[in-house]
Amino acid sequence: MAAGTVQHSLVVENLHAEVGGKEILKGVNFSMKTGELTAMMGPNGSGKSTLAYALMGHPKYKVTRGTALLDGKDLLKMPVDQRSRAGLFLGFQYPQEVAGLSLSKFLWTAYMARRTTQTADVATFDRDMKTHLGYLEMDEALLKRSLNEGFSGGEKKRNEVLQMATLSPLFAILDEPDSGLDIDAVRSVGNTVAKLRGPGIGILIITHYQRILQFVKPDSVHVLVDGRVALSGGRELADELESKGYDFVKFGLPADTS
């Protein structure tokens, strides 16, 4: 941590959440700080995306118990826009297409909405955006096209990381940024996330596989199984999961007594 840098915290304790009356999260506990990159891994149906949406405030995902605190402030009591202004960002697993809204206009509007004043240096914004486009190997022509409309899967995922770079959140949750991508796109997304990593941002990567972790090198890895963090460790845990699969974690879990 650089001298003079303020470190921020995100703390989740005993988080329970349901979707359509079915409990998905059954007491999730984890914490992270700015300057850290954390991976949340787990098999299909374990609750990874539910965790992301519950923290961001999607109305379909109902939190029934537990807390989520950003610098001690209760995220769960904030509407979605306030969670964003407080410093939380979600990169979607399935980005939506929005016809008639150009990518450049969307990025500028989102950028201005996050600012405490309505003044901004347009030249600096344009320069930084083009730098990030270069990192992501994205064509500048995409800026003139409607948001995600006609984009390839890789372009959509790169665009989510571009948004993260533009908004500079305190904590970014990237929900399966590697799903559906070929190895070149995974490398591009992973390398850009690694470049954006720094003392002023905490990044949570949600993923099934360890392939993107080869590029971002997480500080810690959590394994989510059946709505709970079943195992935590360092980067080596992702390698162990790659070789053994998730069954070795599942079989070691205690019986559900909730």
pLDDT tens-place string over residues 48-101: 999 999 999 999 999 999 999 999 999 999 999 999 999 999 999 889 999 999
pLDDT band at 10 (very low <50, low <70, confident <90, very high): very high
- Residue 113 has a pLDDT of 83
Find residue 148's DSSP bridge partners: none
What is the mean predicted confidence (pLDDT) over 186-215? 92
186 vs 20: CA distance, rounded Å: 33
Query: Does residue 3 carry a pLDDT above 70?
Result: no
50 vs 88: CA distance, rounded Å: 16
pLDDT band at 116 (very low <50, low <70, confident <90, very high): low
E strand intervals along the chain: 9-19, 22-33, 37-41, 61-70, 73-74, 88-91, 98-102, 146-147, 171-175, 202-207, 220-225, 228-233
Tokens 């559900």 belong to which residue?
256
55 vs 89: CA distance, rounded Å: 10
The full set of domain ranges for the chain reads 9-250
What is the mean predicted confidence (pLDDT) over 196-209? 94
- Residue 119 has a pLDDT of 67
pTM value?
0.90
Superfamily, domain 9-250? P-loop containing nucleotide triphosphate hydrolases (3.40.50.300)
What is the mean predicted confidence (pLDDT) over 143-155? 91
Query: Does residue 251 carry a pLDDT above 80?
Result: no
